[in-house]
């Protein structure tokens, strides 16, 4: 059996792109787990489990890239990241600790300062992954239109 990565149309397997997406989509969940640890270790463990889901799934998809086309794999990774993000917020919110860790200070260097509220974080998380999935779908659709002979 060949271990050559499956070719795609619109998307190709790329280690930097793949692990950049995976780490970029989940690192904040790990940070939440670390911030929650001194407040409630059980909640932190649940959030850490949410961090593991897309990272284990993403690593498995990478290992199986000779069997899986890049576009369905990236969409699957984004779904896993989205589920993990929702789980992280749900667990932290249910424990009453989300507001304690979600107020992120913003320092612009120009004197303007503020915080990102927990509600703003919720909106960003709930919209980010579906919007990325939509953008990737449009890229894939455009690539298929440009080369209709390929059906990957």
CA-based nearest residue to 124, from 73, 72, 89, 95: 89
Residue 20 has pLDDT above 80, yes or no: yes
The pTM for the full model equals 0.85
- 69-118 confidence digits (pLDDT tens): 999 999 999 999 999 999 999 999 999 888 888 765 656 566 656 566 77
Ranges of each domain in the chain: 15-102+115-146
44-61: b (≥16 Cβ within 10 Å) or e: bebbbebbebbbebbeeb
Q: What are phi and psi of 37, to 5 degrees?
A: -55, -50
pLDDT band at 130 (very low <50, low <70, confident <90, very high): very high
pLDDT averaged over every residue in the chain: 88
Quote the pLDDT of residue 83. 96
8 or 27, higher pLDDT: 27
- 62-81 confidence digits (pLDDT tens): 999 999 999 999 999 999 99
Q: How far apart are CA 29 and CA 138, in angstroms?
A: 28
Quote the pLDDT of residue 141. 93
Q: How far apart are CA 41 and CA 98, in angstroms?
A: 14
Listed in sequence order, the residues at least 6 apart from 101 whose beta carbon sits closer than 8 Å to its beta carbon are: 32, 35, 36, 39, 92
């Amino acid at each position: 059996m060949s271990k050559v990565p499956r070719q795609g149309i619109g998307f190709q397997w790329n280690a930097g792109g793949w692990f950049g997406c995976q780490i970029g989509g989940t690192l904040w969940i790990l940070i939440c787990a670390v911030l929650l640890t001194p407040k409630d270790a059980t909640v932190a463990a649940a959030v850490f489990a949410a961090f593991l889901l897309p990272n284990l799934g993403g690593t498995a998809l990478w290992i199986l890239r000779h069997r899986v086309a890049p576009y369905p794999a990236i969409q699957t990774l984004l779904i896993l990241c989205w589920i993990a993000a929702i789980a992280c917020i749900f667990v932290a919110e249910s424990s009453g600790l989300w507001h304690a860790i979600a107020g992120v200070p913003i320092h612009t260097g120009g004197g303007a300062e503020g915080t990102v509220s927990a509600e703003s974080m919720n909106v960003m998380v709930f919209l980010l992954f579906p919007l990325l999935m939509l953008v990737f779908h449009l890229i894939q659709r455009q690539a298929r239109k440009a080369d209709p002979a390929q059906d990957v």
